[in-house]
Amino acid sequence: MAANETTVKLDGVSKSFGEFTAVRDLSLTVRAGRVFGLLGPNGAGKTTTIRMIVNITAPDSGSILLFGRHIDSNLQDRIGYLPEERGLYKKMRVADQLRFFAEIKNMRGKEIESKIDQWLARVKLSEWKNKRSMELSKGMQQKIQFITSVIHDPDLLILDEPFSGLDPVNVELLKEIVLDLKRAGKTIIFSTHQMEVAEKICDDICLLNRSQKVFEGSLREIKSSFGRNSVAVRCEGGDGVLDDPGLVSKLVRHADEAQALLASGADAQTLLKRLIDSGAVIGKFEMVEPSLNDIFITKVTEPA
């Protein structure tokens, strides 16, 4: 798939439930072969947006193009969807379960069996193939749910909070799989409210807040547009300097270091000099990119 092809295109999409508007006039473009982060706090409209893309619910207005076509139920077979609300049939065996989910994606019988084995091996659950899902731990169940969304080799994979509740080892495992799929040319939409996770795997992001788009673009672009105006500092003494609003517009103290966002007009050199002059002992002084979280907070609080 060519790099500049568009997988999903939303144009002026709105959706409301009674009085409540879940999504307002949303336009966005998901490019093929990229990981697209749909970010925002809880209730921002992420899940509703995704449901419209997967054709579970229809927009009130606006258009949605998927692979250049208007969505219909046949296109659903090319999508893999792992919703935030997910479960398994408790009494069904793992293999039967995966076979069922593959069948309703119109997969052919022969292909299904080999894919089941392949994916179970990949997530290290091969020996659980004939166990009922209620015998599995929560983490194992989550990996099985993940397989249900990828077993039919979809061109577009949509993951809604895929890592919530997983231990770090399994998060790493799934992240690796997602990146492999991206390398194989698949498009991935990744929805989360955890900015730190998104920062590590997304190429492009779209920030949603209160049903509206706040920002859309590549992660690199947005980060560089904010510039390196943040400093990570670890020092003893010099508190008065860091609290000077002329130098630091925002200060976040972590356990053993602080992150200072430089005030407009101030520069890092001046800050360093003032700290040394005040007699502070400096353990660390490093220019850092703003975190996605900082950007998000800035964007959301910024007057429109």
Partner 1 sequence: MKKFLSVVKREYVQRVRAKMFIVSTILLPLVMSLFGLVPAIILSIETPPMRVAVVDQTGRMYSQLRQALFNDQQEAGTQNANAAAPPTTPRRNFSRFVLEEVDATDQPLDQIRASLDQRLRARELDGYVILPPAFLSEGKAEFVNRNPGDLFSPRVLQSAINRAAREQRLIDAKVDPKTRQELFKTVELQSVKVGAAGDQQQPDSGGSFAIVFGVGFVMYLAILMYGQIILGAVIEEKETRIAEILFSSVKPFTLMMGKLVGVSLVALTQLAIWGIAFSVFALYGVGLLASQGMRASIPSIPFSHYIYFGLFFLLGYFIYATIYALVGSMVTTAQEGGQLAMPIILVLVISFYLFWPVSRSPDSPFSFWVSMIPFTAPVAMLVRIVTQTPPFWQIALSLLIGFSSVLVIMWLASRIYRVGMLMYGKRVSIPEAIRWARQA
Smaller CB distance to partner 1: residue 44 or 222?
44
Residue placing its CB nearer to partner 1 in the complex, 72 or 256:
72
Name which of 186 and 274 has its Cβ closer to partner 1. 186
Q: How far is the CB of 250 from partner 1 (least distance, A)?
A: 37
Q: What's the rounded Cα separation, in Å, for the pair 219 and 205? A: 6
Residue type, 123: V
Closest to partner 1 by CB, 75 vs 258, is 75
> Least distance to partner 1 from the beta carbon of 302, Å?
31
Q: Which residues of this protein are in contact with partner 1, per CB under 8 A?
A: 17-18, 51, 54-58, 60, 72-73, 76-77, 79, 81-83, 85-92, 96, 100-101, 103-106, 145, 148-149
Looking at beta carbons only, is 50 or 280 nearer to partner 1? Answer: 50
| Sheet of 156-160, strands arranged across | 79-82, 156-160, 187-192, 35-39, 204-209, 212-218
Shortest Å, Cβ 184 to partner 1:
21
Instruction: Report how far residue 225's alpha carbon sits from residue 170's, in angstroms, rounded to the nearest whole number.
Output: 34
Q: Smallest gap, in angstroms, from Cβ of residue 196 to partner 1?
A: 26
In the complex, what is the shortest distance from the CB of residue 55 to partner 1, in angstroms, rounded to a whole number?
Answer: 8
Pairwise CA distance, residues 10 & 62, whole Å? 8
Rounded to a whole number of angstroms, the minimum distance from the CB of residue 49 to partner 1 is: 13
Q: Which is nearer to partner 1, 13 or 262 (CB)?
A: 13
109 phi and psi angles, rounded to 5 deg:
-55, -50
